[in-house]
Amino acid sequence: MKSVMYKILKMEGRAKRAHMETVHGNIETPVFMNVGTAAAIKGAVSTEDLQQIGTQVELSNTYHLHVRPGDEVVKKMGGLHKFMVWDKPILTDSGGFQVFSLAGLRKIKEEGVYFASHIDGRRIFMGPEESMRIQSNLASTIAMAFDECVENPSTYEYAKKSCERTTRWLVRCKEEMERLNSLHDTINKNQLLFGINQGCVYDELRIEHMQRIAELDLDGYAIGGLAVGEPKEDMYRIISAVEPYAPKNKIRYLMGVGTPGNIIEAVSRGVDLFDCVMPSRNARHGHLFTMNGIININNAKYMKDDTPIDPECDCPTCRRHSKAYIRHLFKAKEMLAMRLCVTHNLYFYNTLTEKIRDALENGTFEEFKEKYVDLLDTRI
């Protein structure tokens, strides 16, 4: 029997403060998942660091771990939790997004996708069953269904065909996941499966697809294929249109989003879970989030600034180091620059969702949104 319970604790409009129980611990939502694609956060941040900065869920990628070190290796090491020494929930992305991002290297057929490995060019096949097997070997808490992330813009006709195929693939994912969870040598027999809503920027396709996949009674529902180049107004419109059609008693996940402002807007439309490489990627280039907006630590004005990145921040970086020192580390090309800044940005995102949860509990989310939705995305 799967150990999953999702409970809405409080609502303000469509925004939800909720709680989810999993076999690897509880998740308080809204929450931002920290992205460690190849079972590590880029920027030399360890799982021990993640424990200290309030990370609830770590996200790793099926395709990358299948290519290296190999999912069979991870299984022999006792699964991803043991391998990377992390005792909280892990979500694994299905590899579907790589179908999109490695566009030049793939061929999509009904049975699945043929890839050329981005590492050595060897031919790889991944379909719904293969993705489920790999994720079962990784033994993550939550497995994502294998889908096609359609590029934007795409024609209505192509998007419709792709949605239909993604639905057929989802049925295969569910059947295979049920089989894998029943095997005696499966590490995590309580692995959860989330379905992914697609349909490009076409409201009608999005709604139709969500209605169809809602019938499959999965453990959670994701909105995929957004934040791939469409205007943010389109993204907000799609979330508003499709969210009411997801099952009321299931968690909602907006994949690959986004800026602090995007997260606040999506929470107001009913989303629980988020992930994005933005905080870690931006940090590695010195672009840092604060409660007053975004700063570029490389600017000359910080050369002699002895204040922390954000005076309101209680992360390990802000407790100890000045802007001047961090700027110096970047100029000297020291690896520590990235480590300190990635730690700060992830702490900022983790704390942002904590502040959102507090606002929802206090019934002040609308005020919070009004104050911060634009401010946090502003460069200062």
Q: What is the pLDDT of residues 77-110, one digit of tens each?
A: 999 999 999 999 999 999 877 766 765 777 889 9
pLDDT score recorded for residue 1? 46
pLDDT score recorded for residue 106? 78
Structure tokens at 187: 């590490």
Report, as an integer, the average pLDDT of 62-90: 97
SS3 assignment, position 295? strand
Least confident of 15-24, 124-133, 187-196: 124-133
Examine the residue annotation and report whether 217 is marked as an active-site residue of this protein.
no
113 or 338, greater pLDDT? 338
Contact 380, 294 (CB under 8 A): yes
pLDDT band at 214 (very low <50, low <70, confident <90, very high): very high
Distance CA 350, CA 279 (A): 10
Does the pLDDT of residue 3 top 60, yes or no?
no
What does the H/E/C string look like for 219-252? CEEEECCCCCCCCHHHHHHHHHHHHHHCCCCCEE
pLDDT band at 36 (very low <50, low <70, confident <90, very high): very high
Distance CA 269, CA 271 (A): 6
SS3 assignment, position 273? strand
CA dihedral 131, 133, 134, 135 (to 10 degrees): 80
Report, as an integer, the average pLDDT of 191-211: 97
Distance CA 200, CA 164 (A): 13
pLDDT band at 332 (very low <50, low <70, confident <90, very high): very high
Structure tokens at 211: 């209605």
Indicate the domain borders of the chain.
5-96+132-275, 283-377
Examine the residue annotation and report whether 358 is marked as an active-site residue of this protein.
no
pLDDT score recorded for residue 100? 63
Question: Please, what's the b/e burial string for 52-78 (b: 16 or more CB within 10 A of its CB; e: otherwise)?
Answer: ebbbbbbbbbbbbbbbeeebeebbeee
pLDDT tens figures, 106-149: 788 999 988 788 888 888 889 999 999 999 999 999 999 999 88
Structure tokens at 356: 């959102």
Report, as an integer, the average pLDDT of 168-175: 98
Contact 55, 28 (CB under 8 A): no
pLDDT band at 4 (very low <50, low <70, confident <90, very high): low
pLDDT score recorded for residue 123? 84
Half-sphere exposure of 131 (CA within 13 A, CB side): 33
* Nearest partner of 54 among 357, 361, 327, 376, judged by Cα: 357
Q: Yes or no: is domain 5-96+132-275 CATH 3.40.640.10?
A: no
Does the pLDDT of residue 245 top 80, yes or no?
yes
Least confident of 119-128, 269-278, 315-324: 119-128
Catalytic residue among 93, 147, 219, 272: 93
Contact 364, 264 (CB under 8 A): no
Catalytic residue among 147, 219, 272, 275: 275
